[in-house]
Amino acid sequence: MKENDLFEQAMEMANAYRQSLPLLAAIEIGLFDVLRGEPQTPEALGRALSVGPRRLRILLDLLAWHGLVVREKGRYAVAAPWLPLTEPARTDNLQARLAHATSNAKSWFRLADALRADRPAPELPPPARDPELFIRNFHRSLGTRGLEIIRKLIDDISLPPGAKLLDVGGGFGDLCRPFLERDPQATTCLFDSPATTALAEKHIRDLGLGGRLKTIGGDFIADPIPGGFDLIILSSILHIYDETTNLALLRKLGGSAAPSGQILIREIAITDTADGPLSGLEFALNMAVNTAAGDAYPSARVRQWLEQSGWRDVYELDAGDEATYALLGRKAG
Ligand SMILES: C[S@@+](CC[C@H](N)C(=O)[O-])C[C@H]1O[C@@H](n2cnc3c(N)ncnc32)[C@H](O)[C@@H]1O
């Protein structure tokens, strides 16, 4: 490659923030939640969003260039194709899907600090506008993605009728929904932090699953976990912790499984030699900047941990997506 092309490549990488940050700022200030109906002036919109009109107008002009909003006679509106995607009543709207990206972008900006201090970037408070909405959006975006993956896998997982499921760090409980839909007698216990389960309750009621999806608020590393479960779901959890913690957790979950109970692990894919895919490499860096000891772990390593911690018959399911993998194991003996 010529020197100029390399400079071009570096400039393109370096300036990618100019595309992502205006969109993430728009999400964070609630632009798409408020800019509905009649086109609005920056002044009126600024009042509704509690932001200054001059800078807002400059942001709106850039978003208009990208086609997310339209401008006519000094008034702005969400562009027609983006209206259904940003509908506030929709649980999988753009605001929910990008909630995770808005908070990650802030820690990635402190990546050099995290490297120098050799610890995660200090956690920032959620945006002041509506911290609860931010957390709900975070879980709804994870849930939407997880639900898609479980729907692809479920036919390969047989469970006894009326199975009892445990979703460890299950967020809002979306991942167990396909199992509850398949078997009307099945039930789930969702174990997550008290802050998360408190918010999950409403989501669960809205889904009409109140009686069949119970929550336990606690710390699954430190606190006891109940037992007798036919399927334990551990999705996007191992990457938060280090090897020692993960081995102890997998052993502990063996104690929570019924005889012949199964464990379903879903994780972010990365090769054994950490040379791809790009999504896995970026994810590992996300864990490096956001957690004390997290990482992306190749499936062969997690399979080894499962076998070391008393699970057997471990095999990989087809997650139908190169960015993620799923392992199913059974409680030994
Ligand atoms: C990355 S999210 C995964 C959510 C869901 N399992 C999924 O795949 O979409 C991690 C979840 O684990 C929870 N969590 C992490 N460590 C925990 C702990 N020690 N005790 C309880 N919950 C924890 C977080 O609150 C969060 O809901």
Can you give the pLDDT at residue 136?
A: 82
Q: What is the pLDDT of residues 171-227, one digit of tens each?
A: 999 999 999 999 999 999 999 999 999 999 998 999 899 889 999 999 999 999 999
> Do the beta carbons of residue 26 and residue 32 sit within 8 Å?
yes
Residue 129's pLDDT is 60
Nearest alpha-carbon partner for 256 in 165, 174, 183, 171:
165
Lowest mean per-residue pLDDT among 36-45, 115-124, 170-179: 115-124
User: How far is the C-alpha of 193 from the C-alpha of 293, rounded, in Å?
Assistant: 19
Say how many Å lie between the CA of residue 135 and the centre of ligand 1: 12
Atom of ligand 1 at shortest range from CA of 168:
6
Annotate 149-165 with DSSP letters as a single string.
Answer: HHHHHGGG----TT-EE
Fill in the DSSP letter of residue 136: H
| Residue nearest atom 16 of ligand 1, based on CA coordinates | 169
Q: What are 137-154's pLDDT values in tens digits?
A: 788 878 888 999 999 999
Q: What is the Å distance from ligand 1's center to 142 Cα?
A: 10
CB 135 within 8 A of CB 88: no
Residue-wise DSSP of 70-128: EEETTEEEE-GGGTGGG-TT-TT-HHHHTHHHHHHHHHHTTHHHHHHHTSPPPPPPPPT
- Ligand 1 pocket check: which of 192, 233, 264, 321 to mutate, most ligand atoms within 8 Å of Cβ? 192
- Cα–Cα distance, 206 to 70 (Å, whole number): 34
Structure tokens at 252: 């502990």
What integer pLDDT is reported at residue 125 of this predicted model? Answer: 67
The predicted-structure confidence for 244-259, as pLDDT tens digits, reads as follows 999 999 999 999 999 9
Asked if 306 and 329 count as a contact pair (C-beta separation under 8 A), the reply is yes
Amino acid at 226: P
**C-alpha dihedral (274, 15, 26, 285), degrees to nearest 10:** 20
11 CB neighbour count, 10 Å cutoff: 10
Determine the distance separating the centroid of ligand 1 and the alpha carbon of 2, expressed in angstroms. 46
Confidence (pTM): 0.93
- The minimum-distance atom of ligand 1 relative to the CA of 196 is 25
Kindly give the distance from the C-alpha atom of residue 167 to the centroid of ligand 1, in angstroms, as a whole number: 10
User: Whose Cα sits closest to atom 8 in ligand 1?
Assistant: 235
Look at residue 128 in the predicted model and tell me its pLDDT: 53
Question: Which residues line ligand 1 at a C-beta cut-off of 6 Å?
Answer: 142-143, 146, 169-171, 175, 192-193, 196, 219-221, 235-237, 240
